[in-house]
Structure 1
Amino acid sequence: MRAFAEWLGNGAADAAASVVFHSEERRLLFNCSEGTQRLCIEYKVRLGKLSHVFLSRLDADTCAGFLGLMLSLADAGHAGLTMFAPRGLEKTLSTAKRFASRPQYPLHVHELGEDEPSDPLVQNPLFAVYALPWLVDEQLQRSLATQKDQVKRHCGERRDEEVPEALSSSSKNEVAERIFVTYAVRVADQKGRFVTERAAALGIPRGPLYGRLQRGESIEVEQPDGTRRTVHPTDVMEPSSPGPLLVMLCASSPDLVSQMQAPSGRQRLKQWFQRLAASTPTHRQKRPVCVFHFLCAEVFSDPQYQEWALDVFGADAYHSVACESFSNQRITFRGQAAMLERLKFVDWNWFLEPWTAPADPRARTTSALPATWQLAQPLLRFNAAPRTTLGWALPESHAAANHGWSRLNVPREPDTLKRTSSNNDSKTYSVLFLGTGSALPSRYRNVSAILVDLVDHALFLDAGEGTFGQLVRAVGLDTAKAMLLHRVRCIWISHMHADHHLGVGSLVALRTRLARELPQSERLGTAMMPLMVLGPRLLGRWLEALAELEPMSYIFLDNAALLQSDTSPLSEYFPQTLGIHLRTLPVDHCPEAYGLVLESALAAGWDQNGSKEQQALPVPTSAPSTARSSDNAAAAASWKLVYSGDTLPYDAGLIAAARGATLVIHEATFEDGKEAEALLRKHSTIGQALGTIESMQPQRAVLTHFSQRYPKLPLISSAETQQRLKANSCLLAWDLMRLPWFSKDGEQAGSRTLTTTPPAVANSDVVSLFLQRLLTEFASEFEEPLEIADSELDAELASSEG
């Protein structure tokens, strides 16, 4: 028998803590945060034998990755899942069925209340799983009560009109009862060694009788004097060893830890643990114990926590700790990091090196902990069986990669773009691509997400699973949190496919938590403007369901309300408060699918006081004069960004709206030659996307949303495709690519930047150089195009090795 438990996520910003238990026949997953699929792909953790998922609490850090995982497993023909979670999950999943339904997939949900189950949750000959729930009262402020009123004032005050019902928000302030669950896996006892010398002394012939004794059967053996003697397994086998007990201890809430450390809670946990860890009289050894700690920074820094754990679980127990305080010091997605190093040879200024946290001298390190305590990292495993392998282990290939994953020494230019919340030039707008793949994540590309940085404000265009983790790796943890709290004003979602919106809940919940930590004066001040979430109608219902699980402060607006933005009272809010104008366009992809036109308020015909002008100012297409009038200056500050979302090509409405745009971001899911598949799935090929862009005639364009069958780069090896990319000043997007695209004063934003003037020459030259270096660096990939299935899970499920 072989069994072990290993960390999958280690508590980093892009890999919240999760554990996978492996046995010969099954896999158990404890917590399923955002990025779980991508972690499995990165570290080759096979999911074909996954049978059960256990959630320790209901929030983004524990369950935000489950929907994406379930959809992928269902589409790959997986046999089905059984879930155990605190009460409330079934209601949430019921809401999700409206946009993520797989009716034929066997999914069984069991909700846990505050009472301890009398029987094991799961029991078979190899292991048993037990649960100990905790009911914790937490003071949760579910929203900032004044947010909707602020928007209403902006939207309806001037016109004395009622704000449409499309505008909704969560506005509860209450003490919430949350259930946390501690799980334990007790591995089956390991049989003792069969002693052949004893069997021979008892006259047992070699053969099938040995096997019967090893299976626990008693046999009769004829003696030399003709009598028959009964031989029991204990006569020829050494005593069995007690199987290890693996405890999954979620201690991510200070309120929960306080309850556990109180005399009554400590006694309750001790009694539960001692009952499960007790050995039988036939055991000569104590049952080994390993505790996986899921901690928040506040608990990890508490010196009394370790003393408490030693008291409850004993001095002989093994421990491992997952916490963001130290986990961000490691690169999580090494394939992405290696790709970005290669891309820096293509352009050292556009591609960001993944951020890692510096060592925190205040945090405890491995040297400060006992030898049996380990800091979590992906694939760090505790071997539970066989007994000879008991203890911590790390695959050699992974250990080597952790210390030397970087294979390239990229030269640094003196004016390399620094990692800040915005560009060095405070007047330069940029787009930061956080996910450029489609459908499923891969090692190199996450699912769809773009951050539009407008210096004073920022907004997300789509937010697939893992968006915030990607933002952290792009700009750093502190900067990402400050950006989300103080500068991100809007999250816009194009449609309800999972790869475009499953990261929204985490963004809203995290912003709410950060806001709660602010002083009351700052929380209600101008620094905390409302967070608007715009998307299809179903997104609003999904956020309402998520807001029942954890605090979420947001205001939702149905995208349909912005189809006729100039006649809606809501149209005044964004020009007045942010200086931008939003307009949605229906596109042909799925029900309630939209594209977006985002432009400066001046370009849309709003003056600097928030009043509607008679005529919109044109987006500049040529260099402004040196001494320009106020009108010319205003026109130079006009811009337009158009995002296609997912769509069939040549959409007439999108083309008309995007004509002459400053920047167009268009999907290009498939390679040329796959037009039939693109039509079936209502996507665009690279050639079709370029044809659409040619009709739009923008100053510059970027292609994104590539199928994960092209894991490193899309197929653009043909000379015709390369020429069309150059002619249309069109680039290809990668994850953690930050592209400056507009200067507020209309001037060139830097020597390595796509310029606003003159676009026909300068931008074409930049794209030509980019493509030339790209083709050189990735020549081998073009010679032998690397294609994978749409889902790496297919191969995993087909594997017999699990």
Structure 2
Amino acid sequence: MGNVYVMFWLLGPDVATDSRLKSFMKDQANIRHIVCSGDTSPNMIALESVATQAYKLHSIDPERFPLPYYSNVRTLHGDWINPSLIGIRLVEQDEKIVGFPDLQKLAGNEPQFPEVAKLAEKARQRLQDADFLAKIEKVESDIPNRDAEVITLGTGSALPSKYRNVSATLVKVPGYGNYLFDAGENTMGQMRRVFGKELPTVLQELKGVWISHLHADHHLGTAGVIGAWHKETSKSHPSATLHVAAHMHMLDWLREYAQVEDFGYNRLTFTEFRNFDPATRLASPRIFGPEQTQVHGIKRIDACFVDHCHGALATVFTWPSGLKIAYSGDCRPSDSFVKIGQGVTLLIHESTFDDELQGDAIAKKHSTMSEAIDVGRRMGARRILLTHFSQRYQKVPIFEENFEVKPDADGKEKAKLDEIILVAFDYMRVKLGEFRKAQAFLPAIQKLFDNVTDQ
């Protein structure tokens, strides 16, 4: 050990407090021991840009943009060895080592922030107006599951970037369960940041996973999420099952992965989409019986094959309450998707490119913002959430509000009058009944990004 000066310890649960380890460190006191352990190390923010953006958005609308869960508190306590012997001291002594980020300070460096704060305060005052709130209630009284919450865990395309992780959207439907639409790489990391101590409950209530296609930015985190669900429910609800719906090749991938790691594959149930009608590109829907609906919460899954890559699918989930959520995955605008999505409550659609890059969208088989919105309008969607942006974009567009409701309006006419479009950010949480409240803060959010250069 004479030529060893530093030892890095990557430790699992409870290992850091093992007496044998502490004894070894005391015996080798001339070596600097750097401990990395969930039991002893701070849960610090590693990706400052997205966390700082989250802090800025939280300052505008704290209900829709809660702060990511983290802690800069060192948890090295008790009868541990002399702190001077461990690497945590190195952080205090070496000026070249980056310390914990001060998110509040970083977020407050924006020169236009006072103007943003004024617009946010204006929105808050509007949301206290009784007439405004009564109008919302009138317009939305027929929307099922207004308490259903959409959490956009990752909103970027292709690869994780400075501001956006790749695709993953969790929908929490109280009384039925939680449902994950796509799971790109590091989806579990995003869930830990968003839910913190709430995560075990979120995993326990996970009932379904939809994977749109076999591109890594949409499926690479699937096994990790299922594995976390399996670990959590093995203790709390060992008889629980998780339903996975996807193209046949994604289910093949999960089966093969189970030969490498036991991540709970034997507790999964499946809906496999293999074939479609050549004339319509529609797949046969999966209709759940009463017992299956009781277990998984959902009543029906519709799917169609879309123009993106082999096996790419778009879907509509239907719940017994009448709630219908359409999810596009990646694709060009699809008439088949419009057909199965008629009358949906919410459309979550990819919006990879701005309208000026329609040529790129066609070449790469994605949609522009206007194309995505047009799909929602042809469906008669009451709510449209745009996501899966090219990593070049950080700015957001502004959409007009319209609270006018005709007494005899119904169907697509009412959907047109009641249309709300939001742009998704990582860590955003918005309930179906709060889309208009979130919309009220859009001018402040737009101002926040006015001087941002997209990269």
Question: Could you state the TM-score of these two structures normalised by the residue count of structure 1?
Answer: 0.46
Which residue number corresponds to residue 55 of structure 2?
Answer: 341
Which residue number corresponds to residue 663 of structure 1?
Answer: 346
Task: Evaluate the alpha carbon distance shift between residue 663 and residue 446 of structure 1 in structure 2; reply closer, same or farther with a 3 A threshold.
Answer: same
Alpha-carbon separation, structure 2, partners of 1:446 and 1:395: 28
* Residues 55-134 of structure 1 aligned to structure 2 (within 5 Å): none
Q: In the alignment, is residue 501 of structure 1 matched against residue 168 of structure 2?
A: no
Which residue number corresponds to residue 278 of structure 2?
Answer: none
CA deviations over 1:263-314 (Å, ceiling 9, x no partner): xxxxxxxxxxx5xxxxxxxxxxx52421111101221232332213444xx3
Q: In the alignment, is residue 592 of structure 1 matched against residue 311 of structure 2?
A: yes
Q: In the alignment, is residue 451 of structure 1 matched against residue 170 of structure 2?
A: yes
Alpha-carbon separation, structure 2, partners of 1:459 and 1:394: 45
Task: Evaluate the alpha carbon distance shift between residue 536 and residue 394 of structure 1 in structure 2; reply closer, same or farther with a 3 A threshold.
Answer: farther
Residue type of the alignment partner of 2:358: E
* Residues 362-377 of structure 1 aligned to structure 2 (within 5 Å): 363-364=76-77, 369-375=82-88
CA contact (8 A) 2:152 2:425 kept: yes
How far is the alpha carbon of 1:727 from its aligned partner? Answer: 7.8
**Alignment RMSD:** 3.5
Is there any run of 5+ residues in structure 2 with no aligned partner, and where?
A: 128-144, 276-282, 403-415
* Residues 246-645 of structure 1 aligned to structure 2 (within 5 Å): 274=1, 286-311=2-27, 314-327=28-41, 329-357=43-71, 359=73, 363-364=76-77, 369-375=82-88, 393=94, 395=96, 398-399=98-99, 401=101, 406-408=106-108, 428-456=147-175, 457-476=177-196, 478-484=197-203, 486-516=204-234, 518=235, 522-524=236-238, 528-554=239-265, 555=268, 557-560=270-273, 563-565=283-285, 574-580=292-298, 581-601=300-320, 637-645=321-329
Residue type of the alignment partner of 1:778: F
SS at match of 1:481: helix
Residue type of the alignment partner of 1:660: G
CA deviations over 1:690-747 (Å, ceiling 9, x no partner): 222221221111100000011x235x37xxx768999841100001101101xxxxxx
Higher Cα Rg: structure 1 or 2? 1
CA deviations over 1:509-549 (Å, ceiling 9, x no partner): 22333345x2xxx544xxx4112222222222322333233
CA contact (8 A) 1:513 1:551 kept: no
CA deviations over 1:775-799 (Å, ceiling 9, x no partner): 2222212xxxx233xxxxxxxxxxx
CA contact (8 A) 2:226 2:264 kept: yes
Which residue number corresponds to residue 357 of structure 2?
Answer: 674
SS at match of 2:315: strand
Give the paired residue count: 403
Residue type of the alignment partner of 1:713: K
CA contact (8 A) 1:512 1:551 kept: no
How far is the alpha carbon of 1:571 from its aligned partner? Answer: 6.1
SS at match of 2:386: strand
SS at match of 2:188: helix
Which residue number corresponds to residue 777 of structure 1?
Answer: 448
SS at match of 1:401: coil
Residue type of the alignment partner of 2:255: E
Task: Evaluate the alpha carbon distance shift between residue 291 and residue 658 of structure 1 in structure 2; reply closer, same or farther with a 3 A threshold.
Answer: same
Which residue number corresponds to residue 51 of structure 1?
Answer: none
SS at match of 2:29: coil
Alpha-carbon separation, structure 2, partners of 1:460 and 1:641: 12
CA contact (8 A) 1:465 1:502 kept: yes
How far is the alpha carbon of 1:598 from its aligned partner? Answer: 0.9
Task: Evaluate the alpha carbon distance shift between residue 334 and residue 358 of structure 1 in structure 2; reply closer, same or farther with a 3 A threshold.
Answer: closer
Alpha-carbon separation, structure 1, partners of 2:262 and 2:82: 35
Which residue number corresponds to residue 703 of structure 1?
Answer: 386
Alpha-carbon separation, structure 2, partners of 1:460 and 1:503: 11
| Identity %, equivalent residues | 28
CA contact (8 A) 2:17 2:80 kept: no
Which residue number corresponds to residue 133 of structure 2?
Answer: none
Alpha-carbon separation, structure 1, partners of 2:78 and 2:8: 17
Residue type of the alignment partner of 1:659: Q
How far is the alpha carbon of 1:343 from its aligned partner? Answer: 1.5
How far is the alpha carbon of 1:599 from its aligned partner? Answer: 1.4
SS at match of 1:399: coil
SS at match of 2:372: helix
Alpha-carbon separation, structure 1, partners of 2:307 and 2:289: 24
Question: Could you state the TM-score of these two structures normalised by the residue count of structure 2?
Answer: 0.78
Alpha-carbon separation, structure 1, partners of 2:426 and 2:36: 26
Q: In the alignment, is residue 787 of structure 1 matched against residue 451 of structure 2?
A: no
CA contact (8 A) 2:207 2:297 kept: no
